Amino acid sequence: MRTMKAAVFVSPGRIELDERPIPEVGPLDALVRITTTTICGTDVHILKGEYPVRSGLIVGHEPVGVIEKLGSAVQGYREGQRVVAGAICPSGYSYASLDGDHAQDGVGSPHGWKPIGGWKFGNTIDGCQAEYVLVPSAMANLAPVPAGLTDEEVLMCPDIMSTGFGGAERANIRIGDTVAIFAQGPIGLCATAGANLRGATRIIAVDGVPERLEMAKRMGADHVVNFRSEDPVEQIMKLTDGRGVDAAIEALGTQTTFERDAIVR
Domains and CATH numbers, the chain: 3-86+121-155 (3.90.180.10), 161-263 (3.40.50.720)
In angstroms, rounded to a whole number, what is the distance separating the alpha carbons of residues 95 and 68? 30
Q: What's the mean pLDDT in 180-191? A: 96
Place 252 in a pLDDT band, splitting at 50, 70 and 90: confident
> What pLDDT, on the 0 to 100 scale, is given for residue 90?
83
pLDDT digits (tens, 9 = 90+) for 30-68: 999 999 999 998 999 999 999 999 999 999 999 999 999
- pLDDT greater than 50 at residue 109: no
Q: What percent of the chain has pLDDT over 90?
A: 79
- pLDDT greater than 80 at residue 189: yes
- pLDDT greater than 50 at residue 110: no
Q: Which of 5, 7, 4 is nearest to 127 (CA)?
A: 7
The count of C-alpha atoms lying within 13 angstroms of the C-alpha of 237, restricted to the half-sphere facing its C-beta, is 11
> What pLDDT, on the 0 to 100 scale, is given for residue 258?
65
Report the range of poorest mean pLDDT among 96-105, 173-182, 234-243.
Answer: 96-105
> What pLDDT, on the 0 to 100 scale, is given for residue 114?
56
